[in-house]
Amino acid sequence: MQIIKNTLFILKTSASGLLIGFLILFFIPDSRMPFNWNSAKSAWQFYQQQQLQPRLPQKDSILSVENLSFSSAVQKAYPSVVSINAFRPKGLRNNARLNKDEKILDVGVGFGSGIILSEDGYIVTNHHVIAEADKISINLPDGRRRWVSLIGFDKLMDIAILKTDIRDIKPAELANSSEVRTGDIVMAIGSPFGSNQSVSLGIVSAIPQSPIEAQIQTDAAINSGNSGGPLINSRGQVIGINQMILASRGGGQTGINYAIPIDQVKKIVTDIITYGRVRRNWLGISAVELPLASHQQQFPDIQFGTGFFVNKVDKGSPSERAGIQVGDFITRFEEQNITGVFSFHKLYYDTPIGKEVKIELIRKEKTLIFKVQLFEQNMPEK
């Protein structure tokens, strides 16, 4: 019995010694134990520092807009935006200060906006802003005013080019509008109703599918006087020229506004400055895409969505000369597949004037290939 008691005493004493030794090692500074005093102290300080630091939004978390601002983008674009006054004669009228037989010229003033394109004074705006104007003036954001000359215009795309002799001006930075995506944040800058320049914020609601009659749709507010001003992205780059609004029956805002893509503007401006006109390819056909049910019923052997039908061929056009006929189903252009009219426009629009192109089509269940010599619209070959 005594042996058992002695054994239990020794075990208890050893266990207590081990426990005390472990606790001493744990709290000794610079101890090599996994958890020592310095380690615990450093961990606590690190925890307190992290609690005091602002928490940044995670990739998948909701973005806080509390400190969000686009002022840098606006300030970047603002010096390149001008307000435009277009003076239009309305006729002669009487005046109380003059004799009965004397009349004065009644002049109306239209308002719009414009964008400085180059340091040598080229400015772009909408054609409808300056149409039928006798004189045109611009106002710069720094207060300078000048008369400007009209270099040229394109009614089809509603673009006009002006020129000023003012120097020390800042051209706008132009973006690539083909990179614009639905949902991008955009801002419209201009002089609505002839007021000082103002900014409205919105997003890209829809993007154009075809270079022809292409417009960027946005819900950024555009009013009378904004026409010709820039639609910019969040980096202050111009992606389009504000053109028009879709008004309600009562004339109010619908939130549906349109801008001309800047890529189209670049081409038009270059042509007008270089050639004095806009040069466009002329193929001379009109196209139609039938609804799925009609397509399958009338043309069961032709796969839907692989091309488009020709419903008109202009007399004397390159297409007529090549032999293309009404009813032909065009499937390929220059070895590239066509999914529809919009697809065709994208391929055709940038084709150099005068180039001979290959067009593949289906006619009466037969595949045919035609070579078409393009030339400039309204300027047939001699």
Considering the domain architecture, whether residues 260 and 305 belong to the same structural domain is answered as no
336 within some domain:
yes
* 25-51 mean pLDDT: 58
* pLDDT for 381: 40
Per the CB < 8 A criterion, the answer to whether 172 and 115 are in contact is yes
Alpha carbon distance 226, 189 (integer Å): 7
* pLDDT for 273: 93
Say if residue 46's pLDDT is above 80.
no
CB atoms within 10 A of CB 21: 10
Considering the domain architecture, whether residues 296 and 268 belong to the same structural domain is answered as no
Considering the domain architecture, whether residues 368 and 291 belong to the same structural domain is answered as yes
| Joined tokens for residue 142 | 């720094």
Q: Which of 202-206, 244-248, 276-280, 321-325 has the lowest mean pLDDT?
A: 244-248
271 within some domain:
yes
Last residue of a domain, one of 163, 193, 219: 163
pLDDT category, 382, cuts 50, 70, 90? very low
Last residue of a domain, one of 248, 275, 302: 275
Q: Which of 13-22, 162-171, 336-345 has the lowest mean pLDDT?
A: 13-22
pLDDT category, 160, cuts 50, 70, 90? very high
pLDDT category, 380, cuts 50, 70, 90? very low
26 within some domain:
no
DSSP 8-state symbol, 80: G
In SS3 terms, 143-212 reads as CCEEEEEEEEEECCCCEEEEECCCCCCCCCCECCHHHCCCCCEEEEEECHHHCCCEEEEEEEEECCCCCC
**Which residues constitute the domain of residue 307?**
281-376
Catalytic residue numbers, as ranges: 128, 158, 227
At 132, which CATH number?
2.40.10.10
CB atoms within 10 A of CB 173: 14
| Joined tokens for residue 223 | 């009013």
pLDDT category, 168, cuts 50, 70, 90? very high
